[in-house]
Structure 1
Amino acid sequence: MITVYTDLDNRLEKQEMSIGDSIPYGTVLIDLYEPTAKEEQYIENILQINIPTRAEMDKIEVMSPFYKEGNAHYMTVTVLDKSSKEDHPDSMAVTFILTTEYIIILRYSTPWSLVNFIARATRGIHQCNSPETVLSGILESFINKTADVLEEAGNELDDLLKAIFEKSSKQEIISSKRYNSVIRKIGHTGNLISKNRESLVSINRLLIYFSQIDDNNRLTSKKEFKSKFKNLAREVHSLGEYGNFLSQRNSFLLDATLGMISVEQNMIIKVFTVASAVFMPPTLIASIYGMNFENMPELSLTFGYPMALGVIIISALLPYFFFKKKKWL
């Protein structure tokens, strides 16, 4: 699908475009969402550029995400596709093709940050009078979304910290099912943080590449525009530091949870160990008097049976009180 956005007094106006249509006057943004082979060929013929296929995008993302071909600059970044607590976080590649007149977006998914930028740009909130300003606005939306997701991840880690270390009002022991739930949440949060850190690294590389474009005909050569990209780079750097902090904190929570599980298991084993030690002397006494020998004088005593019971009880209580005195119980 081909969608073009024209600049109308610093406000983007959306128009659908079909094969055979000419690009409207004032177009600054061309959005290619899951383009067909015919749509790719049509755009290539009009703009005299090469549109990477989906397979080529995957290779470009890994091998050479930033390069120049002719008068067009190709920049591929990784952004978060899903970020809710219910969804499995996933990343997607978005390719920006910057020409002298347009910024082309090639994508096969719809990140929320791009939807938010388009909605704000159509209301005139973002300055969109050139391909460069559109690209900077999209990157700013990506960065803001990453900041929001990292903030939510930080809040989630705070809740997990309380669930692990703070006792409930009823002083309940955390059950194994609850531990399993906590570990799953830690894993989900860790994956979310990792995906965002990957996205930040990708965006930072794009900013470095974009700042090095030296063309007097572009806004990139102007001091004001370079200053804006420096500010974006600072935000990416600070978010990267925050992401590193959250990653370390998530690792700490995982280690703490596993440690708490180990403590709970040791408590259970200790109970069985104490129980074995308590019942070991009575078992020994019962085994002795359970032997079938004729010459056992205690068997003929009138109070032999109560005496044996008393010895068994005393032999069980002595280890119990000993463990209590040592505070092993």
Structure 2
Amino acid sequence: METRTERTRFDPVDLRRRWVQVPAGDPQVAAERIEGLGVDFAAANGRVWETDDFVYLPVVVNLRTGDTISREAVVFALGHDVLVTLQPEVRFAPFDKAVARMRRTPHLAGSPHGVMYALLYALNEAAERVIDYASDALEAMTDEIDMATKGVDENGRDIGVMDMQDTIARMNEAEEIVSRSQESQLLLARAARYLRAETAASEVELGKLIDILIADIDGVKEHASFEHDKVRYLQQSIMTSLDVKQNQIVKVFTIITAVFLPPTLIATFYGMNFTWMPELEWEHGFLVTTLLTLVAALIPLAYIKRKGWLR
């Protein structure tokens, strides 16, 4: 029983033998760490590439730090006895959680495939937190979006494009986040499927865990797709509402123009310098002209109302 406990105990030294972390930003340290391993990240050139000893699998992940979303690239070089990761820095935050998971389940650290499973699991969790952040940001804009679709704010004042610029900009940011998350999940799913193919048939338990991970990655991708459809729908709703509001404004000006155009035409006639205008000598010439102007204004207004264009 004691021997079994020792065999399954987490061993950091053994983990460092099976997992080599290479910082992408420090070429000297990177060269020292991959010396003698036969790893060539430059030849892989950021694409899926297979050699006799390694399978190179690039992924791009979105990470949340407070209210900041960053995008980082990680390349896995999966070998028979060692896993090498080209990562942004030596202490890459998502991988700290992967190490914590390997401490809880020490058998994962017993093979490079188990280590890579733990790392992909941590990256998938990080991606899910980013999507949740985008979802929460959309929920925080619910009141603003509701006002935009109604066309008026809490004070009853009409809302225009300028009033919604900040909200539209934040929605565009949320759309970009979930779009990038969809891309990241595709890369994670590809890496997980390659890992599953490279895992020996004898590692039944690890194979089942990887199958669950692939399903989880696809689930997060579906969540990202749902949020993407949601934000696109909200964007379309806001823009449609603003377009309707602008069309209403144009309609008002069109009606005003139609009503005042005939009186303006009559006023233009009487502004001409004719030598003789007989109605100027009539006793009720001013009253007749005024009534004629009023009738000329009411005729297009009655026509517009009959057509229902005032609604």
Give the TM-score category using the shorter length. Answer: 0.7 to 0.9
Q: How does 1:172-183 map to 2 (within 5 A)?
A: 172-183=157-168
The aligned amino acid for 1:78 is V
Residue of structure 2 aligned with 1:170, choices 131, 139, 155: 155
Residue 255 of structure 1 corresponds to which residue in structure 2? 236
The answer on whether the counterparts of 2:76 and 2:83 sit within 8 Å (CA) in structure 1 is: yes
Change (3 A) 1:29 1:162: farther
The answer on whether the counterparts of 1:31 and 1:105 sit within 8 Å (CA) in structure 2 is: yes
Residue of structure 2 aligned with 1:204, choices 189, 195, 200: 189
Residue 108 of structure 1 corresponds to which residue in structure 2? 88
Q: What do residues 239-277 of structure 1 show as CA deviations (whole Å, max 9, x unaligned)? A: 222322332333333333332232222112112211111
The answer on whether the counterparts of 2:63 and 2:71 sit within 8 Å (CA) in structure 1 is: yes
1:60 matched to 2:46: yes
TM-score relative to the length of structure 1: 0.76
Q: How does 1:182-261 map to 2 (within 5 A)?
A: 182-215=167-200, 221-261=202-242
Q: What do residues 25-73 of structure 1 show as CA deviations (whole Å, max 9, x unaligned)? A: 652433222354433332233x4322424xx56x333xxx252442x44
The answer on whether the counterparts of 2:23 and 2:30 sit within 8 Å (CA) in structure 1 is: no
Residue of structure 2 aligned with 1:38, choices 9, 28, 31: 28
Residue 95 of structure 1 corresponds to which residue in structure 2? 75
Residue 4 of structure 2 corresponds to which residue in structure 1? none
Q: What do residues 140-164 of structure 1 show as CA deviations (whole Å, max 9, x unaligned)? A: 1111222222233234344354353
- Structure ranking higher in helix proportion: 2
2-structure distance, mates of 1:73, 1:288: 88
Residue 4 of structure 1 corresponds to which residue in structure 2? none
**SS at the partner of 1:60?**
coil
The aligned amino acid for 1:52 is F
**SS at the partner of 1:172?**
coil
Aligned residues: 296
2-structure distance, mates of 1:295, 1:37: 97
The aligned amino acid for 1:67 is E
RMSD between aligned alpha carbons?
A: 3.2
The answer on whether the counterparts of 1:66 and 1:76 sit within 8 Å (CA) in structure 2 is: no
List gaps (5 residues or longer) in structure 1.
1-6, 13-23
| CA positional deviation for 1:184 | 2.0
| CA positional deviation for 1:82 | 5.5
TM-score relative to the length of structure 2: 0.79
Runs of 4+ aligned structure 1 residues displaced above 6 Å come to none
Residue of structure 1 aligned with 2:56, choices 67, 74, 83: 74
Q: How does 1:88-167 map to 2 (within 5 A)?
A: 91-108=71-88, 112-118=93-99, 120-121=100-101, 124-125=103-104, 127=106, 129-130=109-110, 131-158=112-139, 159=141, 161-166=145-150, 167=152
**SS at the partner of 2:38?**
coil
**SS at the partner of 2:41?**
coil
List gaps (5 residues or longer) in structure 2.
1-6
The aligned amino acid for 1:80 is N
Residue of structure 1 aligned with 2:37, choices 40, 48, 58: 48
Change (3 A) 1:84 1:283: farther
| CA positional deviation for 1:101 | 4.6
Change (3 A) 1:153 1:311: same
2-structure distance, mates of 1:25, 1:136: 17
| CA positional deviation for 1:83 | 7.3
The answer on whether the counterparts of 1:40 and 1:51 sit within 8 Å (CA) in structure 2 is: no
**SS at the partner of 2:273?**
coil
2-structure distance, mates of 1:111, 1:196: 19
Change (3 A) 1:223 1:164: farther
The answer on whether the counterparts of 1:143 and 1:236 sit within 8 Å (CA) in structure 2 is: yes
Residue 278 of structure 1 corresponds to which residue in structure 2? 259
The answer on whether the counterparts of 1:94 and 1:105 sit within 8 Å (CA) in structure 2 is: yes
The aligned amino acid for 2:87 is R
The aligned amino acid for 2:250 is I
The aligned amino acid for 2:50 is Y
